[in-house]
Homo-oligomer: A and B are copies of this chain.
Amino acid sequence: MASRLILRIQERQRRLTSSEQKIAQILLDNQSLVETHTATELAGLAGVSKATTARFFRTLGYADFEEVRLQAREERNRREPYARFESRGEPASLGRALSEHVELELRNLTRTFEELRSDLLPRIAAVLGAAPRVWFLGFGDEYGAARLGRSMFSRLRHDVHQIEGAGQDWAAELSMTGPRDVLVLLSFEPRPKLLRALLAHARTTRMQIITVTDHAFAAQAQRFCDLVLPCHVATYGVLPTHATMVAMLRLMAVAYLGQNAEEVGQRIATLDAINEELDLSE
């Protein structure tokens, strides 16, 4: 922070007058104060006059307050050097980079499904079939994915919802969940703190939880539910990839469809009829 100033204060602290000690205390308590505040403001914080403050710094050996400010700034710049973002000349190789990105997506997909245990999707389909209600939950980017899942599954069965936490009123939505309901959790990093509480609630409610997540979280997820679908999500950069998650959702739907072909067929026919009646599509 402003180490030199602090040292000088400590050095003289005993010999300072009582008003000056007030100022000293303020500065010792929050050492960065001198970087951001004016001398007048410091006087206010210490409850002494501007004059005393001026004298204070003079007594410490500074020519004027300006010298104090500059010294503090100097130290700061030395300590916290530029946190600049390195610009790398990438645009030239963009074409190549793009194809690499696609290849990585393909590899993610391939690996994910290679490693997928063959009994998992049928079990999940069965659980989904038995559930009174199905709830999709996703935060951040996964909110969109959850929406897609809900929209896809609502074509397959009734009572498919998304937990949105609209207006932060989670309670209202959670109150509608019940035992044997299924919660489909879609979660990549970063994970909100809220998640933990929601999962605790879901467990208490005796909901079944299906988690679609990255490998990093898969292990943890296993502790609160045995239906975990880990996805490979390797990327070269800052942008997470959701293609694998979306494909996984579709596979779940396909599995469900396989187990409930007749019922689903009925339902889709009914929905089509309604849509026709509404006459919304072309």
List the interface of chain A (C-beta within 8 A of B). Answer: 29-32, 35-37, 69, 72-73, 76, 80, 82-85, 87-99, 101-102, 105-106, 109-111, 113-116, 118, 121-122, 140-141, 143-152, 155, 189-196, 214-216, 232, 234, 237-239, 241-244, 246-247, 250-251, 253-255, 257-259, 261-262, 264-266, 268-269, 275, 279-282
Contact = CB atoms under 8 A, between A and B. Distances in A.
Contacts of A238: 155, 257, 264, 268
B140 A144 contact: no
Contact of A102 (B140, B216, B247, B279): B247
A250 B241 contact: yes
B95 A280 contact: no
Nearest to A260: B91
A95 B76 contact: no
Given A152-B141, A190-B282, A94 B113 contact: no
B152 A101 contact: no
Contacts of A31: 83
A36 B76 contact: yes
Contacts of A152: 141, 239
Contact of A193 (B96, B114, B280): B280
Contacts of A32: 76, 80
Contacts of A37: 73
Contact of A98 (B121, B239, B268): B121
Given A105-B247, A144-B146, A250-B243, A232 B98 contact: no
A150 B258 CA distance: 33
For the complex of A and B, the 7 pairs showing the least CB-CB separation, nearest first, are A95-B114, A144-B148, A144-B147, A85-B265, A190-B281, A243-B247, A102-B113
A94 B112 CA distance: 10
A59 B228 CA distance: 51
B194 A94 contact: no
Contact of A241 (B93, B247, B255): B247
B144 A118 contact: no
A282 B275 CA distance: 43
A95 B118 CA distance: 7
Contacts of A250: 101, 105, 239, 241-243
Contacts of A264: 238
A251 B101 contact: yes
Contacts of A84: 29-30
